[in-house]
Amino acid sequence: MKAARFPLNRYSALVAIISLMVFFTSFIGFLNATNNIFLDALQGENDVRSEIVIVGIDDASLAEIGSWPWDRSVFADVIGTVITQDPGVIGIDVLFLEERSGDDELMAVLERSPVPVVFGSKLDGENVLASVFDSPRGFVNFDQDADGKIRKTLPWRQTAESCELSFSLAVMREYLRLTDSSGLCSETVELRSNSFAVEPDGLSFAYSRHPFRYVSIADVYNGTVDPETFTNAIVLIGSTAVDLRSNLNDNFTGVLGNSLPGVEIHANIINSYLTGSFYRQPPVAFVAVSILLVTYAIAWADFRYKRIFTGTALLVAALAVNFAVSIMLFQFGWQNCFIQVLLALLAAFISSIIIKYTLQDREARFVKKSVLPLS
């Protein structure tokens, strides 16, 4: 009686298939959330562009100018001061959805302004709640992930009437003086020579730990800012106070886990447009083929050499490569499915152990039976 020859290729292929099945079934809620935590930890190294200046409605401004809401003449004075320094564009991340005192003064400033001023709008289903002023606009709504963090931006949305640009993209359109917006409301957003492919759930933008240039709105109102602070700048006016409400929640959670005002999230999105720092996911088919080949090779070597530490050493090496490759890909704008690949590699290791020791046990029993004396 002869023992069957060990089918090396067949069992290696079986391990690879099991790993692939684990990979495809691991794209579920908590595992995706775990992968997001890993990717979030890599964020923050994006440089900030000096063109972006945040004018904050902060606690000091509320104490000096008065409680919220302010008379619109305050914004007329602030915008009038900013305009004198010849900025590139002004974006107002405050909702002016109803008429109030001081509107005439603000309208007069807008009518004589040579600088485009973008107002925030709000999406309510398929309807747009727009500013009372006839000026460029963009929706300030954010889509939050299940953990409350904001990782993506939708550049535009189709509404009941037309295509509504996001606040950040509307600011970029005016800053670049794009007269034709047809290249913005599409699956690929085109900003001059740069183009960004939009996934169904939006663009994954980059956060920065570095601070943006910041000025308190009280300093602008009082005329105490440096005379060249806003020259050629992207000026974003919005709430940075913790408790201010302007018909929309003004404080959110960024990927770094810190509370951020909406205007600063818009600043990060605009910064991503300027630096081209949007993240993409590698094609799942490419990752799957890589897993198939790597796990097959690991299983083949483990089955072939049958040394006690072979499988463990190969697993550790593969995990280290997965970690290093994920970090390297992130630096080039790719968000790898690190956790899913890790689970696939662990599945290869565990399944190869089970197969190996099952076959060894079967072989041992075969040998034991073959050497028993005939009765």
Q: Does the structure show a pLDDT above 90 at 250?
A: no
Q: Residue 248 pLDDT more than 50? A: no
Whether residue 47 contacts residue 208, with contact meaning beta carbons closer than 8 Å, is answered with yes
3-state secondary structure string, the chain? Answer: CCCCCCCHHHHHHHHHHHHHHHHHHCCCHHHHHHHHHHHHHCCEECCCCCCEEEEEECHHHHHHHCCCCCCHHHHHHHHHHHHCCCCCEEEEECCCCCCCCCHHHHHHHHHHCCCCEEEEEEEECCEEECCCCCCCEEECCCCCCCCCECCEECCEEECCCCEEEEHHHHHHHHHCCCCCCCCCCCCEEEECCEEEECECCEEEECCECCCCEEEEHHHHHHCCCCCCCCCCCEEEEEECCCCCCCCCCCEEECCCCCEEEHHHHHHHHHHHHHHCCEEECCCHHHHHHHHHHHHHHHHHHHHHHCCCCHHHHHHHHHHHHHHHHHHHHHHCCECCCHHHHHHHHHHHHHHHHHHHHHHHHHHHHHHHHHHCCCC
Q: Which of 16-25, 41-50, 230-239, 297-306 has the lowest mean pLDDT?
A: 297-306
| pLDDT tens digits, 78-113 | 999 999 999 999 999 999 999 999 999 999 999 999
CA distance 66 to 111: 27
Confidence of residue 141 (pLDDT cuts 50, 70, 90): very high
Which amino acid type is present at position 327? Answer: I
pLDDT for residue 140 = 95
pLDDT tens, position by position, 17-60: 999 999 999 998 889 999 999 999 999 888 999 999 999 999 99
Looking at the predicted structure, is the pLDDT value of residue 359 above 90? no
| Residue found under tokens 């003449």 | 73
Residue 69, preceding peptide bond in cis (omega within 30° of 0): yes
- pTM comes to 0.89
Instruction: pLDDT band for 241, please (50, 70, 90 cuts).
Output: confident
Question: By the 8 A CB rule, do 140 and 120 touch?
Answer: yes
The predicted pLDDT at position 97 comes to 93
